[in-house]
Structure 1
Amino acid sequence: MNFLKVSHFDALHLQSFALNKRVLTPAYDDGFNSARSKAVSGNSLPNPRTVCLKVSPPPSKPLLENSISQIYAIFGQLLIHDMSGTSASTDSSGTELDCPCGSTDSNCLPITWPSNDALLNQTCQKFARSSASFPDTNCSLAYREQLNLLSSYIDGSSIYGIDESRANELRTFSDGLLKTSSPVTEKGQTVTDGTYLPLSNDTCSSSDTDYKCFLAGEYRTSENLALVSMHTLFNREHNRIAAILKTQNPTWTDENLYQESRRINIAILQHIVYNEWLTMVVGNSSLAPSQNAEYYNGYDSIINPALSNEFSTAAFRFGHSLIRDKFSRYDSAESQLKPLNFTETVFKSDYAYDVKGQGIHSILKGIIKDNCWKFGTFGLELQNYLFAKIENNTYSATDLLATNIQRGRDHGLQPYTKYVKHCHGIDVKSYDDLKDLLSSTARTILQSVYENVDDIDLYAGGLLEKKISNTTLAAKTFSCLIMEQFADLKNGDRFYYENGPTVNQGAFTLDQLSEIKKITMACLVCNNYGLTTIPKNVFFNPSDTNPNFDCSTLESQVDLSKWTGIF
């Protein structure tokens, strides 16, 4: 139990399947349930696909960030999958709604595609509302809320599972190890050194192969192969730690080895998030861990650590715009292979078994070398071809940007201007009031699609804002909402890795904490992927200020001897 003192909201947010919180009260059309669909004038809000094509018109060439690598965005995907998951509405049998074009179900909001759309063979996009929950047993006194299927905490649930059943499914129950699979093709060829994730019973492959999906702590593990490479990283790190602890502590039981390896691995995840990853969103972060061997002890039982709707439905989805259309790949000799379209890796495992490219190792190398896509712009793969398929001679695909805009309306998020007031104290009356946040071009784009400045969707406005600096990714309003959330996650988590024994009786010793604070993402990759060189900060491309270094000279190794004899 994360809370020692359980208040009403503690009970609601203690476990998975709990309500998201809100920064601002919702803006449902009817005040409690109907998706936000009306402009200030009473007319309909602009079509999400139309907004998408105005905010981020399909680029004629790749638009890339100057120095930030693609692995940054993929790690962010692993992170949000550790904290957030939302289910779609279901029918009376419990099956997720299909929501085809023309559906009149109140929980369906299909997105009509304009008649002059570039993809003329698609007329609409299916869209089911998120499943509803009400924070009060008397639903007439409350407004529609959405459940988080996960715990909100950065607790390694994407690695280990959210409950005991999933955790047990992933364990070997021998020497504290997690299950793995062998990287072997259907023809019996070994793809690479090292292990892969265990396999599920579901098929993730093209029609002429039968490769299975990969299995980890949560249900979206095989969403793309770059994400699989991140899951594999933490699976391997757990087993690497467990093997060392076993050698140092031969009398430890399987349970001792598993739980302590898990605890260290989660602490490493938290440290990388707050020490390296978060600072690149917002610049120098006040939430960064102390570089000294000292406890934080900032836990506050009054803080509600649940994810805000604004964070999970809009602000943190800034990372969607960082995903490239193509993933580069490199073989063992560092020669470049044929790149993969992003959609070729979505719930498809085939290229994980490409012998020439060493499977996911080639993709991991690519996301380290590649720049990520430019913040605020979407590539064609995520705008026009995501989840593309042909059924009954009808083409269908998902526009992720349009989906995010529609999801914000589904969840009743207030207009962008209300969050500008919340974050920056600016009382917006006209587009000119946004000149400090939005360029003249951005204001013109929004004015061309929204009737009134108070109609702007949070996601659309946030994407077009000026970035804080050239070395940060998100802009000011998204950064504000992200920082508020990560402060709550840090200060509302009794098990946050820097907390001492006055807060968490199972805290790390100061010597152990000092070792964990040595770790970097580059160190983690070196230890588990057999690379020879890597940028000192793997989230940035190599440069004079971020040189490549030899993995064999790593100084940031965790000395696990500090865990000898603790049981």
Structure 2
Amino acid sequence: MVKFSDEVDDIENNERKPLLDTAKSKYSRKQRYIFLIFFVLVHVVVIAYFVVPWIESSSLFTKTKTLTPLSKLSSVATTNNEYYKKCAPKVTCFVSAKYRTYTGSCNNLRHPNWGAYLTPFYRFSNAEFSDGKSEFRLQADGKPLPSVRLIQLKLFHGNDVRHSDRENNELLVPWGQFLAHDISYYPDDIRSNETPDLLDHCFDKDKSTIPKICSYSVRVPDDDPLAYKQKLKMLKYTRSQSSFNSSCPLLPFTFLNRQTHYIDASNVYASDQAIAYGLRSLKNGRLLSRTLKGGEYCPQYPTPGFTEPSRGRSKYQFSTGYYESNQNMAIASTQILFMRFHNYLADELHALNPLWTDEIIYQEARRIVGAVVQVISYKDFLPIILGDFYMDHFRLNTKTVYDPSVTPAMSQEMVSGAFRTLHSIIPATFKFMDQNYSIVNEIAPSTTFNNPDPLVGYIDEVFRGFLETPGRAPQPNFNSLITNTLIPINPHKNLSMGFDLMTFDFQRGRDNGLPGYNKLRKICGLSFARKFEDLSDLIPNRAIEALKKLYSHVDDIDFMVGAMLEKPQNNSMVGPTSACIIGDAFYRARVGDRFFYDVQGQPGSFSAEQIKVLETINLGHVLCSTSNVNHIQKETFRFVDPKLMASIKYDCDSYEINLTPWKE
């Protein structure tokens, strides 16, 4: 390199001389070209020798055979009906009811409790606990499963590839979380305000005083980055509430959904009637709201129905139909957006039909909001997550024909595993953008846990940031700011804890009794692995070698661990096993929902004209009717550079919602 630089300098000096020997000049130029060619060839050889093998062996670029899971799954579980036999309440249904119940009951007139609030998650395989009741499963050799934190460090830590998804924007993240919390919620088993403090006794010298819940927390190795930086010994973990918390002592542990299982915007309106009424203004069909810094926001927590004190160290805590709406900015901002959207629709419907009562306006607006959530999820969101192939394969893009024999219940494998793999697209920071697309603030999600204060006065900037920022590319890891961080757990004592979302997700799978990855491959119709090497059809060899060092047998691999390592196929963001579980869930949520927006022949069916309007609505319409965000791309989740491609963005005049089919 030094010789090359000297020769270039000589050539440049010679070019400055007015008289040069022509032959000498040609010789110098020829020498320069030969050296440049040699220089390039050497680097090509080096790249071919060192870099290409690394790319081919990496978890991101390994070529795998394209595999197709079953398009319709069959459960091998024998416990799915236990709750309905022993604990389900008796329900009286009104067959001519036009509107959904808050609880989701009576959607299915043959099975009134299917899909309802406080009913169990469906299972493809019986819960797996080592004692058949509640204790975490063991490995094939009888030893405990490897530490989930160790798995994260050995398999996923440090693999963060900092490149963006050039096709999609960050809006996928808040929508994914909004949708997840519409269809599922099962809280931690915190029986009293003392539970977090009990975890501080996990290292007592007197072992008789160590609480039982400490056995489920995650020990931090001495060489762990969190141990080194923060001197942490443990990542605290509290188990999920089981049916025992609801006076239904089923064994093995059974987990009840505290939302309805339907895509019905129950996270906006609540799945409990008392809470739902507490969120209503009872005037002109509107939801309660308050004005903060010139904008409309959800009411302050608590409202009637909410009895526990605010857990966040913040000035504002929002009340919505979802208990943990303040958990992070993505959730809180979308909840605010849809409270505003309901009130926008209520005002428009009231203007169209001034004789309608508060109840009719509220229920019609609620009905439209639920339909819009369905339309956006199936027409805009899921095609990006699953890709067109899986959308066709799982029949997610056809007209809905209601089938009362299909349970709409979300599966435990879906909510505790497959859908959580999308945490991989959560960005390191959320950007706030002004009208000129300049970044005015940037906040890491982990720093606003249970603290929505930064949103107040900046909803426009937050959603403009979601729209105008390329998303995080799908990859087999989470960003480091949500896997190696501290969050406050007791604001009053100024205490923090280490938090690793990936470790938490892995532990949640064990807590909820998920079967191993290999068993779910088989249920999905993919090849059953007899040995670790059999996983090479979907998982890179380098990862397989690491799995062999962590687990005693291929059957021991945690479902989400295997799912995270699978290479996405068919333009999907997830691997075939996750695609199988997700595709099945959204097929059943559609076909098993009597109130799904395009189902005909039911008392609550929309008219053909109303359906046409609903199917034109996307998230751009919601943003234009609830915020000052303008100039939005038609494919709302796609990234469109606001400066280079401004011509394919549209102002809000193009996003008007025609509600005249609702005029009576």
Under a length normalisation based on structure 1, what TM-score does the superposition of the two structures give?
Answer: 0.88
Report the Cα offset of residue 95 of structure 1: 6.7
Residue of structure 1 in register with 2:32 after alignment: none
Distance 1:558 1:311, change over 3 A: same
- Partner letter of residue 131 of structure 1? Q
Equivalent-residue separation in structure 2 for 1:386 and 1:497 (angstroms): 43
Equivalent-residue separation in structure 2 for 1:528 and 1:313 (angstroms): 32
Report the Cα offset of residue 528 of structure 1: 2.0
Residue of structure 2 in register with 1:522 after alignment: 620
The structure carrying a bigger helix percent of its residues is 2
Q: Which has the larger radius of gyration?
A: 2
Which secondary structure state, in structure 2, belongs to the residue aligned with residue 262 of structure 1?
Answer: helix
1:247-282 Cα deviation digits (max 9, x unpaired): 111111111111111111110011111111111121
Asked if 1:494 corresponds to 2:594, the answer is: yes
Residue of structure 1 in register with 2:219 after alignment: 112
Report the Cα offset of residue 235 of structure 1: 1.3
Residue of structure 1 in register with 2:351 after alignment: 247
Distance 1:178 1:537, change over 3 A: same
Alpha-carbon contact 1:71-1:539 (below 8 Å) kept: yes
Asked if 1:381 corresponds to 2:485, the answer is: no
Which of 391, 403, 407 is residue 300 of structure 1 equivalent to? 403
Which of 215, 218, 237 is residue 127 of structure 1 equivalent to? 237
1:307-343 Cα deviation digits (max 9, x unpaired): 1110010011112221111111112332211311212
Matches within 5 A, 1:535-554: 535-542=633-640, 548-554=648-654
- Partner letter of residue 535 of structure 1? Q
Alpha-carbon contact 2:487-2:496 (below 8 Å) kept: no
Matches within 5 A, 1:83-94: 83-91=183-191
Which of 382, 395, 419 is residue 316 of structure 1 equivalent to? 419
Residue of structure 2 in register with 1:558 after alignment: 657
Matches within 5 A, 1:67-466: 67-91=167-191, 98-100=198-200, 101-102=202-203, 103-105=210-212, 108-120=215-227, 121-133=231-243, 142-184=251-293, 190=294, 194-201=295-302, 211-284=315-388, 285-286=391-392, 287-290=395-398, 296=399, 298-353=401-456, 358-375=457-474, 376-385=476-485, 387-388=487-488, 395-466=496-567
Alpha-carbon contact 1:282-1:468 (below 8 Å) kept: no
- Partner letter of residue 438 of structure 2? S
- Partner letter of residue 540 of structure 2? S
Equivalent-residue separation in structure 1 for 2:322 and 2:160 (angstroms): 36
Asked if 1:485 corresponds to 2:595, the answer is: no
1:378-423 Cα deviation digits (max 9, x unpaired): 1122112253458879752221111111111111111101111111
Equivalent-residue separation in structure 2 for 1:549 and 1:94 (angstroms): 50
Alpha-carbon contact 1:2-1:495 (below 8 Å) kept: no
Report the Cα offset of residue 14 of structure 1: 4.5
Which secondary structure state, in structure 2, belongs to the residue aligned with residue 195 of structure 1?
Answer: strand
Report the Cα offset of residue 111 of structure 1: 0.7
Q: How large is the Cα RMSD of the aligned pairs?
A: 2.7
Report the Cα offset of residue 547 of structure 1: 6.8
- Partner letter of residue 161 of structure 1? A
Segments of structure 1 that go 5 or more residues without pairing to the other structure are: 185-189, 291-295
Distance 1:457 1:338, change over 3 A: same
Residue of structure 2 in register with 1:187 after alignment: none
Report the Cα offset of residue 231 of structure 1: 1.1
Which secondary structure state, in structure 2, belongs to the residue aligned with residue 66 of structure 1?
Answer: strand
Report the Cα offset of residue 481 of structure 1: 0.3
1:352-380 Cα deviation digits (max 9, x unpaired): 23xxxx51221111111223333331112
Residue of structure 1 in register with 2:13 after alignment: none
Equivalent-residue separation in structure 2 for 1:448 and 1:99 (angstroms): 30
Alpha-carbon contact 1:88-1:96 (below 8 Å) kept: no
Which stretch shows the higher mean deviation, 152-161 or 386-395?
386-395
Alpha-carbon contact 1:519-1:557 (below 8 Å) kept: no
- Partner letter of residue 116 of structure 1? D
Equivalent-residue separation in structure 2 for 1:495 and 1:339 (angstroms): 40
Equivalent-residue separation in structure 2 for 1:195 and 1:87 (angstroms): 28
Distance 1:43 1:205, change over 3 A: closer
Distance 1:334 1:83, change over 3 A: same
**Residue-pair matches, total:** 535
Distance 1:226 1:139, change over 3 A: closer
Alpha-carbon contact 2:226-2:498 (below 8 Å) kept: no
Distance 1:383 1:553, change over 3 A: same
1:199-222 Cα deviation digits (max 9, x unpaired): 21466776xxx6221121111111
Distance 1:332 1:4, change over 3 A: closer
Which stretch shows the higher mean deviation, 415-424 or 389-398?
389-398
Which stretch shows the higher mean deviation, 529-538 or 256-265?
529-538
Alpha-carbon contact 1:330-1:363 (below 8 Å) kept: yes
Alpha-carbon contact 2:396-2:587 (below 8 Å) kept: no
1:173-197 Cα deviation digits (max 9, x unpaired): 111111222122xxxxx4xxx4222
Equivalent-residue separation in structure 2 for 1:166 and 1:205 (angstroms): 20
Alpha-carbon contact 2:312-2:449 (below 8 Å) kept: no
Alpha-carbon contact 1:442-1:465 (below 8 Å) kept: no
Distance 1:422 1:348, change over 3 A: same
Residue of structure 2 in register with 1:64 after alignment: 164
Equivalent-residue separation in structure 2 for 1:381 and 1:53 (angstroms): 14
Which stretch shows the higher mean deviation, 127-136 or 331-340?
127-136
Which secondary structure state, in structure 1, belongs to the residue aligned with residue 509 of structure 2?
Answer: helix
Report the Cα offset of residue 22 of structure 1: 0.5
Distance 1:343 1:214, change over 3 A: same
- Partner letter of residue 81 of structure 1? H
Distance 1:205 1:414, change over 3 A: closer
Asked if 1:16 corresponds to 2:117, the answer is: yes
Under a length normalisation based on structure 2, what TM-score does the superposition of the two structures give?
Answer: 0.75
